[in-house]
A and B are shown apart, each in its own frame.
Chain A
Amino acid sequence: MDILEIKNASYYYGDSKDKILSSVNQKFELGKFYAIIGKSGAGKSTLLSLLAGLDKPKSGEIVFKGENIEDKGYNNHRKNNISLVFQNYNLIDYLSPLENIRLVNTKADESILLELGLDKTQTKRNVMKLSGGEQQRVAIARALVSEAPIILADEPTGNLDSVTAGEIIKLLKKLAKERDKCVIVVTHSNEVASAADIVLELSGKKLKKVNKIS
């Protein structure tokens, strides 16, 4: 089932007419794990920003469940429809893991953190005292408790060692399947791309489906 669609979207910075994205079209489904790959500067993170409602396309539209996200507002889209996971985790540094996930859902409890591999004491410790892998798990937990159907991740394994990166990718894939989420990951990593159901390459300002990387 299509949950999110980018329709004929173009984007350029400021007044320059030099487009980063040009008439990009793509539909995204629930239960699938997408990887968006491309060279540095190709516009992958910009595309993710448009899908997340952090920025708006210069032309075209982003559609959630058949409705332009602009209609209900970008803040509403960010709050209810998507969850973001960043390379640098983006956690509030003076809060504990549990308090961080409660920013998006005040009723959230520690079970999701335990499920993702943190122990009880870690859930109440300052988030900055956790390792990079543990912090990324907290970021993913925050994405999950929001109950948004779409998880957008920008280089989620960029700061992690290969073992931890493998675990995070497995986790994201599991979420797509078991929780019926639409997971879209922007990555440079072949390992992440090879784990994806669908691989999309951003090249020549267009988004193209490519054969699965093995």
Chain B
Amino acid sequence: MIKNALAYVSRKKNRTLIIFIILTIVLSFLYSCLSIMKSNEGLEKSLYKYSNSSLSITKKDNGYFETEKFKEVKRIKEVKELTYEYNGLAKPVNAKVVTGKQKIERDNLPDEFNNILSLEATNNTKRNVLFTSGVFTIKKGRGINENDMNKILVHEDFAKKNNLKLNDKIGLNLLDNDNMAQDKEEKYEIIGIFSGKKQEKYTGLSSDFSENSVFIDYKSLEKTLFDGKAGLSNKINVYTDNPENIKTAFEKIKNINIDWSKYNLEKDTGAFEEIINSLSGIKHLIKIIAYSIAIGGLVVISLILILWLRERIYEIGILLSIGISKAKIISQFIIELIIISIPAFLSSLILGNLILKQLTGRLVESGSGGDLNIDIIKNQSLLDSITTFLQSYGILISIIIISVALASSMILIKKPKDILSKIS
């Protein structure tokens, strides 16, 4: 049976080539469609992460509040990450702020406020809106993360003015929430230098300028201003894994026993919802294209195989007349196609990925208008791609078996005499 199948495949070269091309095309499209459909599921998650969606807790009077009051938020299982924001002021020791033309002149300002920095303490600058929005960009070094202690990011102009570089240390005297200096200098290591200009509000202080903004780690802030205890914050951001969890987390936080008349709990999911709305049409289109290609491929391959088998009715008649069983005849046909599908499998690895790149490239281009460059292919790991490819191959083999069984049964239900009389 296998020998005869090999003989057919190797000697009927033209027919084998046609079947090989068809199997390659169908397998490539099946793989592309399956990949897109799978990516479509992951796309929402990626967009969610990309959009930096979160819940934010602030005080209604925009003032400071104790983070300890919200310690229960950490225990909510849907909550994946918390970031704290503290906005304050700091006096640099042995360093001069960047000066510029102020729109507001203050005569009554004590001298010490002429050399003041705007300070933001956070446990993750990657989540900070000034960095995620691209207003500030890290030019050298890295951002602040949860494990950092006594680390600082400074503006490139401030660094230039004071001849500061990465790993240098700068002394700061932090002002508390009442803007009272602590007379306690703390040294911070520069781990990143950023550039950019934020929207500036002029109050007559040197800290109004973007160049005089610094970011320090939140742990240092707690150590310096709050004796290492849980400190104050202007804003707590709450992050979850997916859009469903953010709704659940919102409800659970709302149920925490706190005087909510003094606090705001808001969803910062606008960017995500905007993207999802603009992509919903594209998602629908992807689904329709994917299903159409999969069903079209199935129909084409079934019809081709039916024609291929009808052309072999002569052979079927001969084999039946010499006593070969129907099961053996069908098995030989299936083995032939499986043999042809092996090189088709290999060539589809290349063609399938090319089609996938073309399809996803055009879809993303048409869907985002060039603004949102989300690479669907990159969203899939190698293991995902292999799994998808094997699934596509499994579908192809199923189509082959079903088509051959259907087409053969149409011939094999006839009496051998009828088949043989058709031949003559």
Residues of A within 8 A of B (CB): 49, 52, 54-55, 75-76, 78-80, 83-84, 86-88, 90-95, 99, 103-104, 126, 142, 146
In the complex, what residues of B have CB within 8 A of residue A79's CB?
322-324
Determine whether the beta carbon of B323 is less than 8 Å from that of A75: yes
* Contacts A/B (CB < 8 Å), 28 sampled: A54-B416, A54-B417, A54-B420, A55-B415, A55-B416, A55-B417, A75-B323, A75-B325, A76-B323, A78-B321, A78-B323, A79-B323, A83-B322, A86-B420, A87-B424, A90-B317, A90-B420, A91-B318, A92-B315, A92-B318, A94-B7, A99-B4, A99-B7, A103-B319, A103-B322, A103-B324, A126-B11, A146-B322
Residues of B within 8 A of A146 (CB): 322-323
| Residue in chain A with minimal CB distance to B315 | A92
Q: How far is the CA of A91 from the CA of B8 in the complex (A)?
A: 14
Which residues of B from 381 to 424 have beta carbons under 8 Å from A? 415-417, 420, 423-424
Q: Which residues of B contact A (CB under 8 A)?
A: 3-4, 7-8, 11-12, 315, 317-325, 415-417, 420, 423-424
Cα distance, A122 to B322, chains bound together (Å): 22
Choose one: A52, A55, A93, A95; the contact of B4 (CB below 8 Å): A95
Pairs of residues from A and B, 7 with the lowest C-beta to C-beta distance, nearest first: A79-B323, A54-B417, A55-B417, A78-B323, A49-B417, A94-B11, A54-B416
Question: A159 to B319, alpha carbons, bound, how many Å?
Answer: 22
Q: Which residues of B lie under 8 Å from residue A75 when comparing CB positions?
A: 320, 323, 325
- The minimal Cβ–Cβ distance linking B54 to chain A, given in whole angstroms, is 68
Assess the B423–A104 pair: CB atoms within 8 A: no
**Residue from the set A76, A79, A94 with the largest chain B CB neighbour count within 10 Å:** A94
- Name the residue among B3, B323, B415 with the largest chain A CB count within 10 angstroms: B323
User: What's the nearest-Cβ distance from chain A to residue B320, in Å?
Assistant: 7
Assembled-state Cα–Cα distance A81/B11 (Å): 32
CA distance A92 to B122 in the complex (A): 80
CB distance from B181 to the nearest CB of A (A): 96
* Closest Cβ neighbor of B418 among chain A residues: A55
Query: Most chain-B CB neighbours within 10 Å: which of A91, A95, A104?
Result: A95
Contacts of B319 in A (CB 8 A): 92, 103
Quick one: closest A residue to B322, CB to CB? A104
B318 — nearest CB in chain A belongs to which residue?
Answer: A90
Residues of A within 8 A of B8 (CB): 94
Distance (whole angstroms) from the CB of A142 to the closest CB of chain B: 7
Contacts of A90 in B (CB 8 A): 317-318, 321, 420, 423
Chain A residues with Cβ below 8 Å from B7 are 94-95, 99
Q: Residues of A contacting B3 with CB < 8 Å?
A: 99
**Across the interface, which residues of B come within 8 angstroms of A99, CB to CB?**
3-4, 7
Indicate if the CB atoms of B318 and A54 lie closer than 8 Å.
no
Which B-chain residue is minimally distant from A96 (CB atoms)? B7
In the assembled complex, the CB of B415 is this many whole angstroms from the nearest CB of chain A, namely 6
CB < 8 Å neighbour of B322 from A78, A93, A94: A78
A88-B323 CB under 8 A given contacts A49-B417, A54-B415, A95-B4? no
Docked complex Cα distance between A79 and B415 (Å):
15
A146 to B8, alpha carbons, bound, how many Å? Answer: 23
Are A94 and B321 in contact (CB-based, < 8 A)?
no
CB-CB under 8 A from B11, the residues of chain A are 94, 126
CB distance from A169 to the nearest CB of B (A): 21
Residues of A within 8 A of B320 (CB): 75, 78
CA separation between A91 and B315, bound complex, in Å? 8
Is the Cβ of A84 less than 8 Å from the Cβ of B321? yes
A207 to B247, CA, bound (A): 90
Measured between alpha carbons, how far is A142 from B322 in the docked complex, in Å?
9
Known: A94-B7, A126-B11. A104 touches B415 (CB 8 A): no
List of A residues within 8 angstroms of B416 by Cβ? 54-55, 78
Considering only CB atoms, which chain B residue lies closest to A89 in the complex? B318
CA distance A92 to B5 in the complex (A): 12
List of B residues within 8 angstroms of A104 by Cβ: 322-323
Q: Which residues of A contact B417 (CB under 8 A)?
A: 49, 54-55
Tell me which residues across on chain A come within 8 A of B325, comparing CB atoms: 75
Bound CA–CA A92/B319 (angstroms):
8
In the bound complex, CA of A124 to CA of B416 (Å):
29
A84 touches B322 (CB 8 A): yes
Q: Beyond A54-B415, A84-B321, A142-B322: 17 further Cβ-contacts under 8 Å?
A: A49-B420, A52-B321, A54-B416, A55-B417, A76-B323, A78-B321, A78-B323, A78-B416, A79-B323, A83-B322, A86-B424, A88-B424, A90-B317, A94-B12, A95-B7, A103-B324, A104-B323
List of B residues within 8 angstroms of A83 by Cβ:
322
B420: A residues at CB distance < 8 A: 49, 54, 86, 90
B contact residues around A84 at 8 Å (CB): 321-322
**Cα(A189)–Cα(B81), bound, Å:** 96
Q: How far is the CA of A88 from the CA of B314 in the complex (A)?
A: 11
Q: Tell me the complex Cα distance, A99–B5, Å.
A: 12
